[in-house]
Amino acid sequence: MEIYAAIKGLQLLKKPCKVRLYSDLQYLVKAMSEEWVTPWKKRDWWRTNKERAVNVDLWQRLLELSVGRRRFAIMRSPSSANPDVAAALTG
């Protein structure tokens, strides 16, 4: 759900810009900010020798939408963030 919310947020952008996207899902945060996804893609979406990445279609779409926005940061949401905003965006 969080990966989908990040995708939906990026799809709302109408022109190239830098983005700071907040998420409380540590997996999403680290996959993008620490670039875990790049090696997964290079290894045909294998995270390890025995474990494939899940939601590959979503990761691929998120990477496509982040092209040209490489300076955006996905970080843990601050405690003051409103979860209702993310829920509203995902419909």
Residue 31, number of CB atoms within 10 A of its CB: 20
Instruction: Report pLDDT for 51.
Output: 95
pLDDT in tens, 22-56: 777 888 888 888 889 999 999 999 999 999 999 99
* The model scores a pTM over 0.85: no
Instruction: Report pLDDT for 31.
Output: 87
Q: Who wins on pLDDT, 73 or 54?
A: 54
Q: What is the DSSP letter of 53?
A: P
3-state secondary structure of 74: strand
User: Which CATH number is associated with domain 2-90?
Assistant: 3.30.420.10
* Cβ–Cβ under 8 Å, residues 73 and 29: no
In the chain, domain spans: 2-90
